Structure 1
């Protein structure tokens, strides 16, 4: 019977494929047996340093060997992992440490000073994995034989806690259990046939939940996790070919960067057999570049919030270089909900063709770290009855639906992403979807990418449209948009940029655009 935990599944892979490559990061290439030895030794060091089994371990590291070894070592000890951004302000990380009750922090060498400051402020034990410490951990002849941990986690224990932006400005902690994330990973491995010989990219920062998908789909299936550095991500063709990757995972924005360099030419990445995008609206031009660059691959668009364990829907959008038709708004659909999940689309509490996507099932988390955040984020609904929002006064059950906050449209039996509920604004009394304005602007033949944000004036709310591609006179763009949208949806400003700014997760940074409007 398969283990119910992430670390148990990793150990199973170690037993079955000890000599397969598990991790290729920076200057380190480790087999499953070698990585497991490092992890076991590190777990022993952590238990000795802390004098007890830590319950929650902060991971203050970039995508490096200390990060991956620390992740597995924490799971081996039965702890929940809390990824933290080494580049974030100290105050934010102190807040996360206090909110989660961190009792241990694993840091890489670059984050050693912040780990020390965090330890002083929030009192967790801190351990920095310097090059010297790593060398000792990797030396097969150094150190005693590792001990078996005294306690192991179970399916209902928390595997990791991610923090997402909250509407109050305070980040919300999302605890995800082993059974939640494994429900997704097991489906994905079976659907795409991942296994030994698969070589996966790992492009997401560890504070972005997509990283959990990338890491553990590789290690549960027996594939190799291959970690590009930031310079490699913006030059993916060179990296894919040098490392002979078979699977590429990223946000679509990466395609825009690669496309501008002209490197994604037909047949330029022949080793790729599967390309998965997620995290942003996916446009046909992005799909076409990759589909032609990897002519023997299938390309999929995926969707899912952190609260639903990374991915809850998928749409095949290209195979063997042939693209499918996009949805009516010009973007690719997000497809069908995974078969082991339930979903409903609701508008004003009743089923609708366009409305908020609500989901429940084995991937749904059991509520936020702070229970006060649960009110309004779940609801009760039965066919034929209006939905009842959850007020937090009773315990959550498996019957409660999670409200994604995303508006979708049902089109030909598939879901099409419309926009965030908070992106639906009012202009002069009219409801406006920012995504609809962006789609209209992207339909211009000379425009590559577009993002629309709001700004405030003495006359009310204005719309600023940022775009890449050929710089065009604003009057021409206004005329183009006037043929496609009502007057109240026309942007007041058009701003040309060489490239749209990206945040740490590789998504378009709408906050920085709004701040500059």
Structure 2
């Protein structure tokens, strides 16, 4: 297969949609749209944005053809998209919209109610209503302070998108996403064309993605892993298969029916599918690559998935939003990987070719092999910093050893003698219990082994003065006589006494955050309320 090369994103989108216009493009809501149909809808959005001021356009859409063509239209117009999420609280969406400073919004029919929840606090938006015009009836009279336009679908059957004349190494933004901030205010991260081009070129060629592939799309648009799915498909001509919301935690039937060839999700999905007994041997024969990212991948989950997807290569990816989707990868090997996994967690591997990692100890010196420290990232995927937040940018994006610029990930790791990086948890997951330094991830693994389920997690329990005086555990199991004591007694065999949970609670289902990860902070809040 010849090596693929993404130039500028808008140019590559136009090229691929022109070239593969007759092939399946986006399979969503029980309908498969060809790339030619996608091009028409995308061009309608681009025309509506033509000549408008501003770099960023808000996108309020969710798992619909209008949402995805809205994104493509924004990119084709030479602008950057910044998504809102109808599953978020209205106040968070209002903060994100205000922080983005976007003056235009692409609104899709399924998010009209969400728009109502933010429109009152926004000023003078140009709202491009993308979908059936009648569905938006009355919005202009309901919100007279905003201007409303309606996309006019392009009727030309022979539409040819015109590639933009742009610098292929453009530093213009492509998308703006917001992550959670410690102050309660969302942190904006703007990813530019050069950042994304590096990522797309590396991943397109590593996985040999072509127009014959069928890719999953699990993630909400506000989660940066969605960028991987959407733009790898759109620049290669692969079919993007959007998992319906009802199947997000149990997509086994979807994988088989759509004959997916590339899978990408957070590891929590594997745990839930295992709990529902969906991971039967050879359940997913069509998969050739299975990628996991967003949180630690338990080795047991990798083993279970490999049996269900026996024809698939499994890779564990790692990367923060600030370094463009993913930055390192590790290829699972059923023979050797279990022994390489620390605390039962699959390593995150090594940096993509052309990127760099380093490990910084708390004393400011570089870590040697086997020493723990904070993971630092450097290279073309590292973004410019936090959107309109120079103070935080200065704290997290630093220069060491001359002019090289590093992003401080806040992740605790160690590197083995082969240069393979093992993830040990967040720096802030390293807690002190009765004067001892403790990694919650190590306790999580002991709970998983003792309970026989991957759905187990530990939380710190604050005592007087705010110090952590004990650990509590949660497992997703039905409580039975003696089970609690049995699990805790088993933990005592592998953990120091100060690490053994002082309390264990059984839960029907774990709370998940908007990105589908287990929400440890919500568990802490629940525990505090019911002590």
Would the TM-score normalized by the shorter structure come out above 0.5? yes
Q: After alignment, is 81-90 or 337-346 more displaced?
A: 81-90
Match of 1:441 among 435, 443, 447: 447
Match of 1:26 in 2: 29
Q: 1:177 aligns with which of 164, 173, 192?
A: 192
CA contact (8 A) 1:115 1:126 kept: no
The 3 A distance-change label for structure 1 pair 28 and 443 is same
Work out which of the residue numbers 397, 403, 408 in structure 1 matches 2:408.
Answer: 403
Partner of 1:335: 349
Q: What CA deviation, in whole Å up to 9, does each residue of 1:151-186 have, x standing for no partner?
A: 868621010111111122211100111110121111
2:397 to 378, 393, 413: 378
Residue 144 (structure 2) aligns with:
none
- The C-alpha deviation readout for 1:453-493, integer Å capped at 9, x for no partner, is 22323374232211124645433333222222222222221
Q: CA deviation at 1:208?
A: 0.5
Structure 2 distance, partners of 1:134, 1:33, is: 24
Per the alignment, residue 428 of structure 2 pairs with 422
Instruction: Name the CA distance, whole Å, in 1 between partners of 2:106 and 2:295.
Output: 31
| Closer, same or farther: CA 507–117 of 1 in aligned 2, 3 Å | closer
Shift of 1:366: 0.8
CA distance in 2, matches of 1:382, 1:64: 47
User: SS of the residue aligned with 1:121?
Assistant: coil
- What residue is the counterpart of 2:231 in the other structure? 216
Displacement, 1:26?
0.8
Query: What is the deviation of 1:338?
Result: 0.9
Greater shift, 98-107 or 12-21, is seen at 12-21
Please list the CA deviations of residues 187-216 of structure 1 after superposition, one character each: whole Å capped at 9, or x if unmatched. 111111111111000000101000001111
Q: 1:317 to 1:153 in 2, by over 3 A?
A: same
Separation in 2, partners of 1:441, 1:340: 38
Q: Which residue of 2 aligns with 1:450?
A: 456
CA distance in 2: counterparts of 1:131 and 1:510, whole angstroms: 41
Aligned: 1:480 with 2:485: no
| 2:63 maps to 1:44 | no
1:466 maps to 474
Change (3 A) 1:133 1:223: farther
Aligned partner of residue 416 in structure 1, secondary structure: strand
Q: Give the Cα–Cα distance (whole angstroms) in 2 for the partners of residues 144 and 312 of structure 1.
A: 39
228-237 vs 66-75, greater mean Cα deviation? 228-237
Q: Aligned equivalents of 1:189 and 1:303: distance in 2?
A: 17
Which aligned pairs between 1:358-373 and structure 2 lie closer than 5 A? 358-369=376-387, 370-373=389-392
In the alignment, which residue of structure 2 is the partner of 1:345? 359
CA contact (8 A) 2:397 2:408 kept: yes
Question: How many residues of Structure 1 are paired with residues of Structure 2 in the alignment?
Answer: 499
In structure 1, how many angstroms separate the alpha carbons of the residues matched to 2:130 and 2:167? 24
| CA-CA distance at 1:45 after TM superposition | 2.6
Q: Which residue of 2 aligns with 1:115?
A: 115
TM-fit CA distance, 1:411: 2.6
Q: 1:469 to 1:332 in 2, by over 3 A?
A: farther
CA contact under 8 A between 2:249 and 2:273: conserved in structure 1? yes
Q: Is the 8 A contact 1:115 1:128 kept in 2?
A: no
C-alpha change, 1:74 and 1:282, in structure 2 (3 Å) is same
- CA pair 193-147 structure 1, distance change in 2 beyond 3 A: closer
Name the CA shift for 1:454/1:128 in 2 (closer, same or farther; >3 Å).
farther
CA deviation map 1:62-117 (0-9, x unaligned): 12112101111111111111011123232222222222211111122132133245
On the 8 A contact 1:28/1:65 being kept in 2, the answer is no
Whether the aligned pair in 2 keeps the contact of 1:85 and 1:207 (CA below 8 Å) is yes
Query: Alpha-carbon deviation of 1:131?
Result: 3.6
Look up the SS of the partner of 2:512 in the other structure. Answer: coil
Q: Distance in 1 between matches of 2:134 and 2:19?
A: 29
C-alpha deviation, 1:428, in angstroms: 2.1
Instruction: Specify the alignment match of 1:59 in structure 2.
Output: 59
Equivalents in 1 of 2:153, 2:117: separation in Å?
30
Q: Name the CA distance, whole Å, in 2 between partners of 1:366 and 1:239.
A: 38
Question: Structure 1 pair 133/418, CA: closer, same or farther in 2 (3 Å)?
Answer: farther
Q: Distance in 2 between matches of 1:276 and 1:27?
A: 25
Question: Structure 1 residues 134 and 55 mapped into 2: Cα distance closer, same or farther (>3 Å)?
Answer: farther
Cα deviation for residue 503 of structure 1 reads: 1.5
1:227 maps to what in 2?
242
Is the Cα–Cα contact under 8 Å of residues 44 and 153 in structure 2 kept in the other structure? no
Q: 1:5 aligns with which of 8, 28, 39?
A: 8
CA contact under 8 A between 2:397 and 2:405: conserved in structure 1? yes
Higher mean C-alpha deviation, range 219-228 or range 488-497? 488-497
Are the counterparts in 1 of residues 319 and 327 from structure 2 also a CA contact under 8 Å?
yes
**Change in 2 beyond 3 A, CA 1:323/1:361:** closer
TM-score (norm 1): 0.90
Moved more, 5-14 or 447-456: 447-456
Match of 2:128 in 1: 127
Q: In the alignment, is the contact (CA less than 8 A) between 2:109 and 2:135 conserved in 1?
A: no
Calculate the TM-score normalised by the size of structure 2: 0.87
Give CA-to-partner distance per residue, 1:114-173, whole Å, 9 cap, x none: 324534422222233344579997966489989969986862101011111112221110
C-alpha change, 1:344 and 1:55, in structure 2 (3 Å) is same
